[in-house]
């Protein structure tokens, strides 16, 4: 089963100077308020973060509902915006693999994969013995996931008290946190090129195609970085 000591070690990532709790809270409080505006009730708002737990996709769903989009269009739009989770999973789970661990842990815990948990896991996995890395990951993921659900409920409940200036402040917290973590991750030339090229190409391709921009920018920038000579970009 799960090694509780290692699981709690992962859960502890939520506290300290590198905690993702504040940016997670800021963006899911804002999401909770938005879902209330979109006509969701409290249970539906919590269910959205419980079952989806991917902010850009949840935003797309709420905005699509507001403009009366069909369920098929919502599916396509969310799938495109959340497709980034595929390369993120493939670039993390091989590091957590161990033959003694059951498959259900991987299939269940992939639900916890989001930008915050991914960046923390990539930053810290080497400190954990390989056999127990999946338990460590489950601790990180469970902590970030439950924080997201809890703060969605807070945002929903506080929606009437959040003014526009406060909401603008909340909206910048997440990108600032992730940019700082990405800069911290730029430990070799290939990853630095991937991050810088992606940052430039994302908005540039967005001018041509709003739906495909992130996917194309990621593929092109990552492939350019891959062909650069230098230290292996697997870290």
Q: Which of residues 26-65 bind another protein (CB under 8 A)?
A: 26, 30, 34, 39-41, 44, 47-48, 51-54, 56-61, 63-65
> Is there binding between residue 208 and another protein (CB under 8 A)?
no
Is the Cβ–Cβ distance between 167 and 33 less than 8 Å? yes
| Under rule CB under 8 A, residue 225 binds another protein | yes
Report the residue from 2, 158, 185, 189 that binds another protein according to the rule CB under 8 A. Answer: 185
Nearer to another protein, 1 or 94 (CB): 94
Q: How far is the CB of 222 from another protein (least distance, A)?
A: 3
Does 177 interact with another protein (rule: CB under 8 A)?
yes
Contacting residues for 3 by C-beta, under 8 A, at least 6 apart: 132, 135
Q: Pick the closer one to another protein by CB: 5 or 41.
A: 41
Minimum distance from CB of 99 to another protein (Å)?
A: 11
DSSP 8-state assignment for residue 214: H
- Candidates 95, 153, 154, 158: give the one binding another protein (CB under 8 A): 95
Question: Long-range contacts for 8-12 (Cβ within 8 Å, ≥24 apart)?
Answer: 8/139, 9/128, 9/136, 9/139, 10/135, 10/136, 10/137, 10/138, 10/139, 10/140, 10/141, 10/142, 10/143, 11/139, 11/140, 11/142, 11/143, 12/139
């Amino acid at each position: 089963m799960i090694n509780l000591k290692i699981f709690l070690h992962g859960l502890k990532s939520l506290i300290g100077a590198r905690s993702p709790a504040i940016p997670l809270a800021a963006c899911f409080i804002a999401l909770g308020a938005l879902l209330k505006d979109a006509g969701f009730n409290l249970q539906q708002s919590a269910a959205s973060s419980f079952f989806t737990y991917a902010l850009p996709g949840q935003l797309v769903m709420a905005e699509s509902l507001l403009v009366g989009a069909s369920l098929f269009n919502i599916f396509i739009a969310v799938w495109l915006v959340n497709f980034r989770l595929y390369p993120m999973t493939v670039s993390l789970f091989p590091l957590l693999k161990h033959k003694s661990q059951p498959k259900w842990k991987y299939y269940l815990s992939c639900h916890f994969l989001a930008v915050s948990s991914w960046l923390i896991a990539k930053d810290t996995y080497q400190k954990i013995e390989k056999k127990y890395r999946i338990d460590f990951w489950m601790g990180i993921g469970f902590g970030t996931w439950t924080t997201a659900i809890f703060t969605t409920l807070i945002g929903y409940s506080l929606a009437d008290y959040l003014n526009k200036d406060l909401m603008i402040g909340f909206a910048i917290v997440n990108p600032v946190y992730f940019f700082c973590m990405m800069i911290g991750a730029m430990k070799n030339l290939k990853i630095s090129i991937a991050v810088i090229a992606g940052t430039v190409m994302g908005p540039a391709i967005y001018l041509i195609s709003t739906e495909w921009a992130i996917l194309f920018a990621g593929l092109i920038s990552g492939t350019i970085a891959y062909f650069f000579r230098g230290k292996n970009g697997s870290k």
